[in-house]
Amino acid sequence: MDEIDVLGIPIPDAGPLFFAALAIHIAAGLTGVVCGAVAAMSRKGGRRHIRFGRLYLWAIGVVWASMTVLSVIRWRENAHLFAVGSAAFAAALAGYLNRRRQPVLHIAGMGASYVALLTGFYIDNGPHLPPWDRLPAWSHWVLPSLIGIPVIVRAIQRRLPGKAVTS
């Protein structure tokens, strides 16, 4: 299959449906990255946190739907990305559904979803982006979790009643 080079990133020439789904996928992914970061850094329970958290959930849903189309068209090349994206969407849904009753599950689900979103991006694009292109392939799978898990654990510790977090 032929490829098209866009800013140094090879894009498979898999037809107009693939390109349309990819354009939607990229826009939703960028929206998810921004909205997830804003929600995470906003006062919990505040208007901004709720608004951007909902936008993140919608964005990750669109990422998953568009990724499903991309994966159906190129299953052999994208099956692993489908698995990562499905885990991201499932974690986001679990986090959203537990937003009121189980704050620990909310934080864990939304945080894991964000880490999975970034992991999928780096798995697919890391080999073409500096400085990620200098790293071994396994690091694209592992580094987002190595950075994200401690952040998630700290956020959970801060929300547990009666637990003081030392810096």
Per-residue pLDDT at 141 exceeds 70: yes
% of the chain exceeding 90 in pLDDT: 80
% of the chain exceeding 70 in pLDDT: 96
* Burial label, 3 (beta-carbon count in 10 A; 0-12, 13-18, 19+): exposed
Per-residue pLDDT at 30 exceeds 80: yes
State the pLDDT confidence band at 8, using cuts at 50, 70 and 90: confident
| d(C-alpha 10, C-alpha 122), whole Å | 14
Per-residue pLDDT at 159 exceeds 90: no
State the pLDDT confidence band at 63, using cuts at 50, 70 and 90: very high
| d(C-alpha 141, C-alpha 131), whole Å | 15
- Taking residues 69-74, what's their average pLDDT? 96
pLDDT tens string 82-100:
999 999 999 999 999 999 9
What is the reported pLDDT for 6? 80
